[in-house]
Amino acid sequence: MKIDLPAGGELPKTLPARLAEKMESIGVSPMKALEYLALFVVLGTIYYCDLTRDWKQSICTPDQVITFSELPVIMFKFLVFTAWPFAIVAALDPTWRSRDAGNVFLAAYIGANALWFHHTGCGFCVFAASFRIIPFVFCALIAHSLGAWRHRSRVEE
C-alpha closest to that of 133 among 50, 63, 64: 50
Considering the entire predicted model, what is its pTM?
Answer: 0.72
Residues 6+ apart with CB under 8 A from 103: 36
C-alpha closest to that of 148 among 115, 100, 111, 79: 100
Does residue 23 carry a pLDDT above 80? Answer: no
Q: How would you class 108 by CB atoms within 10 Å of its CB: exposed for 0-12, middle for 13-18, buried for 19 or more?
A: buried
Residue 38's pLDDT is 93
Residue pLDDT, tens place only, 89-126: 988 888 888 888 889 999 999 898 888 888 777 766 67
Does residue 154 carry a pLDDT above 70? Answer: no
Residue pLDDT, tens place only, 24-74: 777 777 788 888 899 999 999 998 888 877 665 555 556 667 677 877 887
